[in-house]
Chain A
Amino acid sequence: MIAQVPEIRISQAQLQPEAGAPNEQRPAEEHPREISAIRSFLQARGNSAMADRGFHWLMVLCALSIFGIVVLIAIELVVRSKLAWGQFGFDFFYKAYIDTYTKETIYWDPVNGHFSALPFLYGTLVSSFLALLMAVPLAIGVAVFLTEMCPGWLRAPLAFITELLAAIPSVIYGLWAVFVLVPLLREHVNPWLVKLLGWTGFFTDDNPTGLGFLAAGVILAIMILPIISSLTREVMTAVPTSQREAVLALGATRWEMIRMGVLRNARIGIVGAIILGLGRALGETMAVTMVIGNSLDIQRSLLSNGNTMASAIANQFAEASGDLHLSALMELGLALFIVTIIVNAFAQLLVWAVTRGTPSSAH
């Protein structure tokens, strides 16, 4: 083949170092049309070193823009939240104010300029924790079923369905929750919970709407399930088959094989997947905003209305009264940004620790 194109004058100096072994015997011609295009191009081209360098730097620039975006977001949030930070400092995250007239505890009072993010922090933690409590066992169950037990013909459709669950937009989950889940909880589940577990104090029937932490937790659980289960699946697939065979060869049942051979080896990655799900739950906005009830108090009952950091921003940002209010919301956003970055970075490191070397497929 090389003999057929003597008119191309290749000098070694023009070749890139990555060019590998140009003397290697190429297999039979596969793309004659591409070759002739290359030939005509080569005859027309001039010096490509500049173009090469330019292209390289263009790509570097685009890749660096990802850094730029993160830095820009951080700078914007820091600058805009300076006012609130200067006013409240660390008080912003835990202080409670007493209303001068009603003598009630008050946390977030735009009218009098008192801002404390405590109810939002509390709500974010409670709703995310509820979501994890429901989602994690189910997600691991699904992952185990799909990787170890599922008959071949069922695997692809089920994986597709869990993928679809991840693709449904947050606002549609919210819509469904408002019209289906919340009435269901209100009519059937909540009265039953109050009767059964009312003595714990976590379930009181003083909220007739059906909105609240529980509704938010359930919808969040549905939303983070696919993320956790698909990552867990990825991690479990990365466990070498020889591990499974070794445990089975020692006479283990299938469950023992899964527990000792697969789950134990994949546990770091599974923890990573769970933390990644937590990161998603912390920042999830629309569906939660639609069902959590948006109160500004802290209540013990899981059936009462609450608020999360993200839903507070979504609700109040457009109608923020005054610079201080806006700045306080920005600070809330900054806190959310920092927390999710830490959580995600940590989770990513854990997942990478397990799947390193195996190309991941689902993203």
Chain B
Amino acid sequence: MGGDAGNAVFGALRDRDQGTASRAGEEKLSTEHKLKARLRTVTDGAATFVAVLSTILVVTPLVAVFVYLVYRGASSLSWDFFTQVPKPVGVEGGGMANAIVGSAILLGLGSLIGVPMGVAGGIFLAEFGRGTKLANAIRFTADVLNGVPSIVMGIAIYSLIVVPQGHFSAFSGGVALGVMMIPTVCRTTEEMLLMVPNAVREAALALGVPNWRSVLSITVKTASPGIITGCMLAFARVAGETAPLIFTAFGNVGRNIRLDEPIAALPLQIYVYALSPYDEWHRLAWAGALVLIVLIVLAVSLVRFVTSRGVMKGAS
């Protein structure tokens, strides 16, 4: 393929050289080549311009979303937001304390399921199954599972847990989030473990350490900053998920910390409030969105900070 590219450029150059070589008074030809050369320069400039323009166009919506979010959210954020439960329509005030607690419970439950399973899957991929067909198949399935729409996950968990139980519950919501975390955690864990040099494993094994101990307290420990990073990324991703919660956690206007009852969640509450016709609820939706995004940006920035300082510092 590179040959193609080379030939094309070379062809263009050869044409130009022949043009100058056989000058013989053919001024027309030489101006044509000059034009061609200018055209190439102009195309180059235009391409640069288009690339810069599209970057600006991409950055704009982010800045727009962010600025507007902070503007609307900050003006409606108050202490009540964190301490009060929603009030009936028409009553001033009220907050999303129930949703914040609910999100924390759902995410905690999700992490409890998603992190151990994901990390274990990653350990298998990197330590035991390296290069085997089974590992390749699992890696592929994980990537595919990552792309399954969250709404499909939602209705699957609905029919798996909610229907047999007979009612919506925080438990089913947590399971839905946990299942969604597994592929992300699994793949990042694998990638981080692959970065640990083999010498570290060999050193441990050479000392007679059993394999499981070597994996857990040498390899995984060395890669732990990276693995934590992966978990944070998965956490940030499911923190904003709404679709899988509509039919599982369902939402709840009151305070609830029981796992077998419907529970409120921040994204769910934002969704309901955003589509309501009441200004007061819109205000709360913006405040909720700000809280959610601050949470997520903090997680992502932390990840960025850790990775930019060299995940594998201890290992290499």
Task: Tell me, in angstroms, the Cα distance from A348 to B147 when the chains sit together.
Answer: 10
Which B residues from 231 to 255 make CB contacts under 8 A with A?
233, 236-237, 239-243, 246-247, 250
**A145-B52, A172-B292 given as contacts; is B233 within 8 A of A286 (CB)?**
no
Q: Most B CB atoms within 10 A — which of A61, A69, A265?
A: A69
Cross-chain contact B1 with A63 (CB below 8 angstroms): no
CB-defined contacts of A38 to chain B, threshold 8 Å: 204, 207, 209
| Stretch in A89-97, A185-193, A312-320 touching the partner | A312-320
A329 to B154, CA, bound (A): 12
* Chain B residues closer than 8 Å to A162, beta-carbon distance: 58
Residue of B nearest to A156 (CB): B308
Whether, in the assembled complex, B23 has its beta carbon less than 8 Å from a beta carbon of chain A, the answer is no
List A contacts of B148 (CB < 8 A).
70, 73, 283, 337, 340-341, 344
In the complex, what residues of B have CB within 8 A of residue A77's CB?
152, 155-156, 159
Q: Is B117 an interface residue (CB 8 A)?
A: yes
Not counting A142-B55, A255-B44, a sample of 8 additional A-B residue pairs whose C-beta atoms are within 8 angstroms of each other reads A62-B116, A69-B179, A138-B58, A175-B270, A179-B274, A253-B41, A256-B40, A285-B150
Which residues from 27 to 47 on chain A have a C-beta closer than 8 Å to any C-beta of chain B?
Answer: 34-35, 38, 41-42, 45
Q: How far is the CB of A323 from chain B (nearest CB, A)?
A: 11
Could you tell me the distance between the alpha carbons of A10 and B207 in the complex, rounded to whole angstroms?
Answer: 7
Q: How far does the alpha carbon of A265 sit from the alpha carbon of B121 in the complex, in Å? A: 33
Query: Please, what's the 1-or-0 string for A139-152, where 1 marks a CB less than 8 Å from any CB in chain B?
Result: 11110111001000
Q: If A265-B1, A285-B150 touch, does A258 touch B47 (CB 8 Å cutoff)? A: yes
C-alpha spacing A300/B146, complex, angstroms: 33
Q: B306 within 8 Å of A by Cβ?
A: no
Instruction: Give me 5 A-to-B residue pairs in the complex whose CB atoms sit less than 8 angstroms apart, sorted by A's number.
Output: A34-B218, A45-B210, A52-B210, A284-B149, A314-B243
Q: Mark B281-297, 1 if CB is under 8 A from A, else 0.
A: 01001100100110011
Does B160 have its Cβ within 8 Å of any Cβ on chain A?
Answer: yes
Q: Which residue of A lies closest to B59 (CB)?
A: A161
* Minimum Cβ distance to chain A for residue B253 (Å): 15
When the two chains form their complex, are residues A167 and B237 in contact, meaning their CB atoms are under 8 A apart?
Answer: yes
Task: Report chain B residues within 8 Å CB of A357.
Answer: none
Q: Say yes or no: is B201 at the interface (Cβ < 8 Å to chain A).
A: yes
Asked if A167 contacts B43 (CB within 8 A), the reply is no
A178 adjacent to B186 (CB under 8 Å): no
Closest A residue to B237 by CB, please name it: A167
Assess whether B152 is in contact with A337, with CB atoms less than 8 Å apart: yes
Q: Which 5 A-B pairs have the closest CB atoms?
A: A169-B240, A283-B149, A141-B54, A48-B210, A260-B5
Q: Is the interface of A mostly helix, strand, loop or mixed?
A: helix
Minimum distance in angstroms from A289 CB to a CB of chain B: 8
Give the interface segment out of B25-33, B79-87, B104-112, B188-196. Answer: B188-196
B77 at the interface (CB under 8 A from A): no
Interface of B is mostly: helix
Interface residue ranges, A against B (CB under 8 Å): 5, 8, 10, 14-16, 18-22, 24, 26, 34-35, 38, 41-42, 45, 48, 51-52, 54-56, 58-67, 69-70, 72-73, 76-77, 79-80, 137-142, 144-146, 149, 156, 158, 160-165, 167-176, 178-180, 222, 225, 229, 243, 246-247, 250-256, 258-261, 264-265, 276, 279-280, 282-286, 290, 310, 313-314, 317-318, 329-330, 333, 336-337, 340-341, 343-345, 348, 359-360, 363
Contact B149 A142 (CB under 8 A): no
B260 within 8 A of A: no
The residue that A67 contacts in the complex, of B41, B135, B141, B152, with Cβ under 8 A, is B141
Q: Are A171 and B50 in contact (CB under 8 A)?
A: no
Q: Which residue of A lies closest to B8 (CB)?
A: A260
A66-B121, A285-B150, A337-B152 known; A175 vs B62 contact (CB < 8 Å): no
Which listed residue (B186, B250, B304) contacts A160, Cβ 8 A?
Answer: B304
Nearest neighbor of A248 in chain B, beta-carbon distance:
B9
**B123 interface residue, CB < 8 Å from A?**
yes
Known: A45-B210, A145-B51. A171 touches B240 (CB 8 A): yes
Q: How far, in angstroms, from A280 to B152 measured CA to CA in the complex?
A: 13
Most chain A CB atoms below 10 A, which of B65, B158, B270 = B65
Known contacts A62-B124, A66-B141, A260-B4; A55/B211 CB under 8 A: yes
